[in-house]
Amino acid sequence: MSPPSTSGGVGTIAIQLAKHLGASVATTASATKTDLVKNLGADVVIDYQKQALETVLHDYDLVIDTVGGEALDKSLRVLKPGGTVISITGPPDPTFAREIGANPVVRPAMAALSHRIRRRARRHQVSYSRTCS
């Protein structure tokens, strides 16, 4: 797992939950947060101000994206084929639209918003999912 930032609540909870479930956890954080995320259970900590996560990490099963944008794109590259990136900030996908009960007229628009990232995910042989935060 590799949340783009762990100084917030989602990242800190995700690290602890993943460790509880027996996962090997990698995360990004600023240098000032390295000790915090290691104490939470992170096995690998990448200083996102000095290192690019996609050049250090590879073959992960799951990425939890809490930032979106460029970090979401980079997250696709650290997954092994069949892996999944789950985003709480990325564009809504069709499943998300159904789960929140979006109007059938709005659903295609929501799907269109995530078309690009879903296409990139397929190229990397991984999947993309948007979830509620």
- pLDDT tens digits for range 63-113: 999 989 999 999 999 999 999 999 999 999 999 999 999 999 999 999 999
Strands of 79-87's sheet in order across: 60-65, 79-87, 127-130
Contact 63, 78 (CB under 8 A): yes
CATH number 1.20.1560.10 is the correct assignment for the domain at 9-130: no
- pLDDT tens digits for range 36-74: 999 999 999 999 899 998 999 999 999 999 989 999 999
